[in-house]
Chains A and B, each alone.
Chain A
Amino acid sequence: MAKTSTADAFVEFERVQKSYDGETLVVKDLNLTMPKGEFLTMLGPSGSGKTTCLMMLAGFETATHGDIRLSGRSINDIPPHKRGIGMVFQNYALFPHMTVAENLSFPLEVRKLGKSDREAKVKRALDMVEMGAFGNRRPAQLSGGQQQRIALARALVFEPELVLMDEPLGALDKQLREKMQFEITRLAHELGITVVYVTHDQTEALTMSDRVAVFNDGVIQQLAPPDALYEEPSNSFVAQFIGENNTLEGVVKEINGDVALVQLDDGELIDCKPVNVSQPGERTRVSIRPERVELNKERLQPGAHTLKAEVLEFIYMGDIFRTRLRVAGNDEFIVKTRNAADQVRLTPGTQIDIGWLPRDCRALDA
């Protein structure tokens, strides 16, 4: 992750480290550059350091080492209330003793705006999240989704250029979450704000972001647009963490340009795309996405190679079929097929041939 200090960098983390106890690093050498207007998601399992990064950016935690810059200015020593960063909290943090309108008016009051100005802005912000009629309610009288909208409106009402969101949709049910995902991205693009969004939900990350930073163990594992992240994971953590993934273990036999010959543990030889293997003899994990595997021999494209497989389980899921197979000694090999008219429904115990294109299987670190 080479740092490129470009002129249009809006948010920059440079060699940032964070330790709470002086013994372990929660964030290890973080470098990140965001241009203005980007929607960047920090994705990772809990304890991976993503929330700590967000808190350092907001000013609630101080970086143990390194520099955080906003519009080219170091903000390490600027207290949170002077950073002008909007923030949406996991539990919304709406002030319970104030009405919705008072909540929204708060950031404007502390900025000493006049009454009429405040009222106009509050009204506009409420209309923006379609909550115009709720100004006089208390937060406790609102549903989770409504509170979420108010929290969003409050973070936007003082027109910050950067908005941070800390798992804002975590408490909502699935349908509402999907709706809000759409709303948040729409608002972010309409207003042209820069968003740093923290979540552990990969669907959220993939659907909302311009770029996703996958965190693990205090390090950004991969920083890429969602499609690249899903289709071209750069290491096995990312491949495992993002979406469903089939893993076959083996040893690299030879590497010729962008083709690596891998001998799987049961002796089969397959061609893969080498990603982070460098020399023959290295152990590797070969990653294949479940929907890139073909069960129907006739449909295989030229150049694909085939492997023997035994059907272990067939699950009907409506729009897709999910078939669990034993492939090269791996009992958890999943294949997803679309529920098309000509698609076969396999019975457990059947021996079949499956196949895939070498470019869809990636040889990653073991």
Chain B
Amino acid sequence: MADTPQSGPAPDVPTRLTTADGKPLKAALAKAQAAARRRAFLLVLPLLAFILITFVVPIGQMLHRSVHNEGFAVHQDIGSGVRTPIMTNLRDWFAANPQGTEPDEVAYEALVKDLVVLRDLKAPGQAGTRINYERSGSRSMFTKAARRAKKIEPPYKEAMLELDEDWADPELWQVMRGAVSPYTSNFYLAAVDRERDAAGDIQRVNENRRVYVTLFVRTLVLSILITAMTFILGYPIAHLLATLPLRYSNLLMILVLLPFWTSLLVRTTSWMVLLQSQGVVNDLLVSIGLLSDDNRLQMMYNRWGTIIAMTHILLPFMVLPLYSVMRPINPSYVRAARSLGATSWTAFRRVYFPQTVPGIGAGALLVFILAVGYYITPALVGGADGQLISNLIAFHMQKSLNWSLAAALAALLLAGILALYWIYDRLIGIDNLKLG
């Protein structure tokens, strides 16, 4: 729906342009184009709705979930759908007492009352799980305490500590203080290996629990490495494709596209067949005597496996944009450069290469973004040190069921990609991107 560039009447022209029957020209134009615009909008409406439902809404939901978790604030009955606020007494106590207040008898009384409510609602597991996200070992404390909640007599503090000494842990109280509000930034803190100490200040988590930052960095480094590898491998292929006569280049193009037509799983598992320590490549190297039998290369189930397999899988995403910018480059540019006195290397560097930059940008951005979010291949061939951040997101989605943390990790990943996109725009310019 191109907005026709209709420059208005010049300011020094006193009368506005009108149609033959005296209507303002702009209004007449808008009216004339309104029907066409409506039709065009109806055509894109299904797509728009599709994108909205499958893309915008889930991302919005994910972003919401990363800061919102009501596991310690509201209980929703699965059968009836009735929503009951929980931990209300504790919430009131937290509201009345500032950060860092030692929990007194009143606080423990509130806790016990809330535990009773939890027990009635059969919800101690839910509340405990929410606390467990931030302080491991808490879930069993809640279920155990809730089971006996009705029998607990004052003084509550002593009774609770008798059940489990950990109830006096200031960190636990700090976590509960955060969790009574459904909105929290703690999942983001956790996603960058940070937590709040008893006083509410942000600190790094214990060394043995620092995983996410390392994984983010590893994901970044591996993705850059994979992008560079696809570029190094893909550039000559794309050049060959663009310069060969059509009948050869078509054949080559089929070879490039072949991986697209094969299942990702098949491709990944065939790399396993090739690269594992009893695999084809190692067997070959041993049989021709390059390797001794007890010295086989470990190319699989580590980060090399991830790099090799992902480079192969993502290669077409680099080749195709490159090919699409190389194909229309007239050979006479390089010839002109040569006739002007440039060696073939200078002609390539100064004349051919700069014209392929939009394709390099598009290919690199495509490969990089795909690599950053890649999941199945590292899961299959990555072993322990070839896992990427997406594997951890999947772990929190499927195994630990800490969806809020998964959402926070995913949101950080998204933010990182957007930041890179912005940097790319500043450095090279999105207008310079040519995807096809």
Contact = CB atoms under 8 A, between A and B. Distances in A.
Contacts of A96: 355
Contacts of A85: 339
B338 interface: yes
B95 to A, nearest CB: 64
A97 B336 contact: no
B44 interface: no
B428 to A, nearest CB: 12
Interface stretch (A105-113, A310-318, A332-340): A105-113
A95 B333 contact: yes
B13 interface: no
Interface string A78-97: 01111111110111010111
A80 B338 contact: yes
Interface in A43-102: 58-60, 79-87, 89-91, 93, 95-97
Interface string B318-355: 00000000000010110111111111101100110011
A87 B341 contact: no
A230 interface: no
Contacts of A321: none
Nearest to A95: B351
Given A87-B336, A90-B332, A97 B355 contact: yes
A124 to B, nearest CB: 17
Nearest to B350: A106
Contact of B354 (A60, A81, A97): A97
A158 B335 contact: no
Interface residues of B, number: 19
Contacts of A155: 339-340
B339 A58 contact: yes
Given A97-B355, A106-B350, A81 B339 contact: yes
Contact of B336 (A59, A83, A93, A111): A93
Taking each of B336, B337, B344, B350, which has the highest tally of chain A beta carbons within 10 Å of its own beta carbon? B336
Given A80-B335, A87-B336, A90-B332, A110 B342 contact: yes
A80 B339 contact: yes
Contacts of B351: 95
Contacts of B342: 81, 106-107, 110
Contacts of B332: 89-91, 93
Contacts of A91: 330, 332
A262 to B, nearest CB: 49
Nearest to A83: B339
Contacts of B339: 58-59, 80-81, 83, 85-87, 155, 164
B330 A81 contact: no
Given A97-B355, A106-B350, A110-B346, A89 B340 contact: no
Contacts of A59: 338-339
Given A106-B350, A110-B346, A93 B335 contact: yes
Contacts of B355: 95-97
Taking each of A79, A81, A89, A96, which has the highest tally of chain B beta carbons within 10 Å of its own beta carbon? A81
A353 B202 CA distance: 113
A162 B399 CA distance: 76
Given A80-B338, A86-B340, 16 more contacts: A58-B339, A80-B339, A81-B342, A82-B341, A84-B341, A86-B339, A87-B336, A87-B340, A89-B336, A90-B332, A91-B332, A96-B355, A106-B342, A107-B340, A110-B342, A110-B346
Interface of B: 330, 332-333, 335-344, 346-347, 350-351, 354-355
17 contacts: A60-B338, A79-B338, A79-B344, A81-B339, A81-B341, A81-B342, A81-B344, A86-B339, A87-B336, A89-B336, A93-B330, A93-B332, A95-B355, A110-B341, A110-B343, A110-B346, A111-B341
